[in-house]
Structure 1
Amino acid sequence: MSSPNPLEGDNVPQHILALLTRLHAESLNQEAGIAKADYDASVIHSNMKDKFIALEPDKCQFVYQLARAINAKYIVEAGTSYGVSTIYLALAVAANCRATGGVGKVVGTEHEAGKAEKARTYWEECGSIVKDIVELREGDLRKTLKEGLETVDLLLLDIWTPMALPTLELVKPKLRPGAVVIADNTIGSAAGYQDLLEYMRAPGSGFTNLTLPYNNGLEMSVYSPN
């Protein structure tokens, strides 16, 4: 028996489900043609400039379900790319706001202007349930996330690994107690994530950590400062 899709349980509109199915298929098709050498630090920027590199569907559904479980209404996503996972995050925030009131936002970051432009077209296709929730900050996130953040419920790190720890250090002062940090590919890209994982797993870091057995690993960390 296949796993149920929590978006269907929350009655997400069919046109959004169809869009996500299409985008995931395009992303997986692109990834099938990417070689390990394409991820080398000397070429990764040019090679991935026009690639989706989206979270797989099962990871996206998990993050959606997690955001719903913790009633996340303010989320930061580092590495928006074409905005696939952003759709899930925005849908979760919208559902939480409907259920418990208040307003919500997903703050996305994207360095490539072309990807940012394309992401916005997909959010427009979703309609107000997504596009009105997302605030996309273009450029170097070390600048764009430096100020203007509210209290953060969830941080998604789906970005070039050397940028993961700098992002966490920027956002950490805004994390609420009980906030969750998700980092993708922490098994497959363990070497690149070494500084982030050492930081989060160090005694007194304020984080409790668990590596989930999704493809290439998915790190789930809960912020519980003393």
Structure 2
Amino acid sequence: MPAEGPALKALLLRLHTNSLAQEEEISKPDGKWTTLKALKRQGDAGDAAALADYQQQFDDLMRDKMIALDQDKALFIYHLCRALSATRIVEAGTSFGLSTIYLALAVGQNASKLGPEQRKAAKVIATENEPSKAILARQHWKEAGEEVEQWIELREGDLRQTLASNLPEEIDFVLFDIWTPMVVPALRVLEPNLKKGAVIVADNVTSSAYGYEDFHDYIKTRRNAYRSLVLPYSGGLEFTVYDP
């Protein structure tokens, strides 16, 4: 664990445990996800009503679900951000704020090596469209304490608007753990501010391959700017370097 205090370690463990329990519940053979997959297949086959029904039920199901980054992935992005000395991070899709804690710990520890002026710019810009999740995220960050909370700026609402202004001049690291249709719109907003060598990590690119087709098409058409590979984590974790 990157955290030193027992209270923060206990919080991370509790949140990871809760997230896994939620995933197991909805993934049961007789669970809600089975019905949703059937509706999705109908929608993909051209049934517009089934597709609309799927989207509504999916949104309802996920509204109170954490479905956070797995612990091994969270540890990876923490160590990656430490290795990159990343202090200007954007997280698209904070949910209940679990992965944000890892990112904020890395930012804070990296910022401790900077001068006072540089330290002022160090932060994780987290986004969340669901108000109830934003409330819980803030509660978790408050519980995590000052070594986490002070490094996070939460932007609530549609990220196409909330990320459209007041970004760092150079972004070091981006995490996409969000509804996949929003990945490309978010990347387009962030791209002008990505620094050369910025790293982008996207979760579940294998298990949600269909949803990531637009993202993969986007970076393939910009091969001169993006270099990407999928790491062998559960569901697939894509590692992309911006190097125009």
Deviation string 1:2-59 (CA, Å, 9 cap, x unpaired) is xxx4x16xxx322111100000000000011112544743422111000001000000
Higher gyration radius (CA): 2
Q: How many Å apart are 1:202 and its aligned residue?
A: 2.8
AA at the equivalent of 2:8: I
- Runs of 4+ aligned structure 1 residues displaced above 6 Å come to none
SS at match of 2:126: strand
Q: Is 1:155 aligned to residue 174 of structure 2?
A: yes
Give the share of equivalent positions with the same residue, in percent.
47
Q: Is 1:195 aligned with 2:209?
A: no
Show the 5 A alignment for 1:40-59: 40-59=54-73
- Write out per-residue CA displacement over residues 61-118 of structure 1, whole angstroms, 9 at most, x where no aligned residue: 0000110011100100000000000000000000101134432100000011111011
Secondary structure in 1 matching 2:239: strand
Question: For the Cα contact (< 8 Å) 1:90–1:105, is it kept in 2?
Answer: yes
What residue identity is the alignment partner of 2:217?
A: E
Aligned counterparts of 1:57 and 1:44: Cα–Cα separation in 2: 24
Displacement of 1:203 after TM fit?
A: 4.7
Q: Which residue of the partner structure matches residue 83 of structure 2?
A: 69
Instruction: Judge conservation of contact 1:109–1:139 (CA < 8 Å) in 2.
Output: yes
Structure 1 residue aligned with 2:93: 79
**Cα gap change, 1:85 to 1:96, in 2 (>3 Å):** same
Gaps of at least 5 residues in structure 2 are: 27-32, 38-53
Q: Is 2:140 the partner of 1:126? A: no
| Contact 1:199/1:205 (<8 A) preserved | no
1:114 is paired with a residue of what secondary structure?
Answer: helix
Q: Are residue 222 (structure 1) and residue 241 (structure 2) matched?
A: yes
Partners of 2:186 and 2:34 lie apart in 1 by 25
* Paired amino acid for 2:111: C
Give the distance between the partners of 2:66 and 2:235, measured in 1 at CA: 17
Q: Which has the higher helix share?
A: 2
Partners of 1:224 and 1:100 in 2: how far apart?
25
- The 3-state SS of whatever aligns with 2:55 is coil
- CA distance 1:119–1:203, shift in 2 (3 Å): closer
AA matched with 1:163: M
